[in-house]
A = this chain, B = another copy of it.
Amino acid sequence: MNNATNSAKSTPRKTRRGSRSHDKRTGAPGQNPHLEVPYIQRKIRTYDLLDETSLEKIEQTADRILAEIGIEFRDDPETVELFRKAGGQVTETKPDCWRIKFPPGMIRECLKTAPAQFTQHARNPKNNVVIGGDAMVFAPSYGSPFVMDLDNGRRYGTITDFQNLIKLGQSSPWLHHSGGTICEPTDIPVNKRHLDMVYAHIKYSDRGFLGSITAPERAEDSITMCRILFGTDFVDKHCVVMGNFNVTSPLVLDGVTTQGIRTYAAANQGSIHVPFLLGGAVSPLTMPGALAQCLAESMTACAITQLTRPGAPVVLGCFLSSLAMRSGSPTFGTPEPALASLVMGQLARRLNIPLRCAGNFSTSKLPDAQAMQQSMMSMMSAVQGGANFILHSAGFLDGLLSMSYEKFVMDTDLCGMLHSYCQGFEVNDDTLAFEALAELGPGQHLFSTAHTMRHYQTAYYDSALDDNQPWEHWTEQGGIDMATRANQRWKQLLADYEAPPIDATIDAELQAFIQDKKDHTPDLWH
């Protein structure tokens, strides 16, 4: 059931170690080698907001939604048939459209085979990530059609942007996963983008990544490319790629989505199931109602994986947004969804399925104060709520419409801070440091105590971007803001970037596969 169990013994085919080395960065700001990990193992408690009774009410409402309202399925009779066999009450409401009501407990029964945690393997085994339990994985933002930076403003994303952003991700020790559609490469035909995107992840990163979900055949191509990279047998036995699927809220799963879900599950690959709940538009605007709906929708999508292949790795998802009451625009990084994210963590743990939740959300159009205020509100809730896979951990601006180069490096620095945060601290004789105070006594600085000398390199996270200098030094150095420093930093990181080595035979095989696909398919632009 659990892909993690035999991960230590297996290694993917022909992989070499990545080249990122720390010694180059000695002396530059942002070095915290003691905090670098392939993924976070959370050592702090979760912030459990609601009591048992309240959680049960939300769960009961989710079950009631499934039993009394049901979920609509479109254009995928196979998925409908899977649910019918499992006990779902199916009504065809119009051609190729079915409403399924699920008897109480049925969906939870389906989910009993879902692993509590699993490992997503990376081509560099040092970058394998555990998803579930106390593990926490940060991945960049996903799905923006636009990119922006301070020099060139906002424009449609291209494959060059896509590659640049993968490189920025790879160069940060504070992300653990390469993400997926890091921006839309709009200069590539819609039906061929996935090939170049998956290739860019493989080529420019040696971490795990997300494959395509925009069509079942693109999902299949993503998995085929992973088979070339990892070997067919390895892929059948291990999770090496995941698909990030959206429910068509409220309460609809369209055929492209459900077919894609089945494609990943059939190949024993991971999938994430995320209702995008914009309160007042596609969900109730009171958080308990949004949570109940989220749970109902995500559980149903998750169940498809288990009916397709019991034990397939699967991730519950939650993406809650509020509404600007004046304009009807979605808002992100606001307090109410932040609280609900904490509760979603509780609900996921009760279900014992890994959770994707929240991220560095913002509606700001610039990497300004609003951007980081909103990001922090949302991201802290992801971490404190114990989410396991945190997509949108870097770059999110403009209500997800734009991937920002500057915000990307701001967010990765914040992700570094959260490595320290998630470590918490141990209370023991050394950290209680009675001797440090006793050594010199009242009124004496502790700069030179043995305790200070012993801990001074690792006590505090060293930020790559924060300016903590006195005002005079800051002024002498140009008096620049964080956005400007971030602009300088991403350019430096791209200049310094070195691709992780890849086996030439595999690389050629991947390129041949892509070329063949491209040659035999006409371009589609929408």
If A323-B460, A366-B481 touch, whether A281 touches B447 (CB-CB below 8 Å) is yes
Q: Is the interface of A mostly helix, strand, loop or mixed?
A: mixed
In the bound assembly, the distance between CA atoms of A417 and B322 in angstroms comes to 13
Interface residues on A, range: 35 or more
Q: Are B460 and A421 in contact (CB under 8 A)?
A: no
Q: Are B363 and A466 in contact (CB under 8 A)?
A: yes
> A47 CB to closest chain B CB, in angstroms?
4
If A322-B460, A430-B286 touch, whether A368 touches B471 (CB-CB below 8 Å) is no
> A117 CB to closest chain B CB, in angstroms?
24
Among A348-384, those with CB < 8 Å from B are 363-377, 380, 384
Is A339 an interface residue, CB under 8 A from the partner? yes
Q: Are A368 and B369 in contact (CB under 8 A)?
A: yes
Q: Residues of B contacting A462 with CB < 8 Å?
A: 324-326
Q: Residues of B contacting A421 with CB < 8 Å?
A: 335-336, 338-339
> A264 CB to closest chain B CB, in angstroms?
24
Binds B, one of A53-61, A238-246, A497-505: A53-61
| Copies of this protein chain in the complex | 2
Q: Are B65 and A434 in contact (CB under 8 A)?
A: yes
In the bound assembly, the distance between CA atoms of A66 and B279 in angstroms comes to 54
Given A289-B433, A329-B469, A380-B380, 5 additional A-B pairs, CB 8 A:
A280-B447, A283-B446, A329-B468, A373-B482, A377-B417
* Residues of A bordering B, CB below 8 Å: 29, 44-45, 47-50, 53-54, 57-58, 61, 64-65, 68-72, 99, 154, 248, 250-252, 279-289, 292-293, 322-327, 329-331, 334-336, 338-340, 363-377, 380, 384, 398-399, 401-402, 410, 414, 417-418, 420-421, 424-428, 430-434, 436-438, 441-447, 451-452, 455-457, 459-463, 465-471, 474-475, 479, 481-483, 486
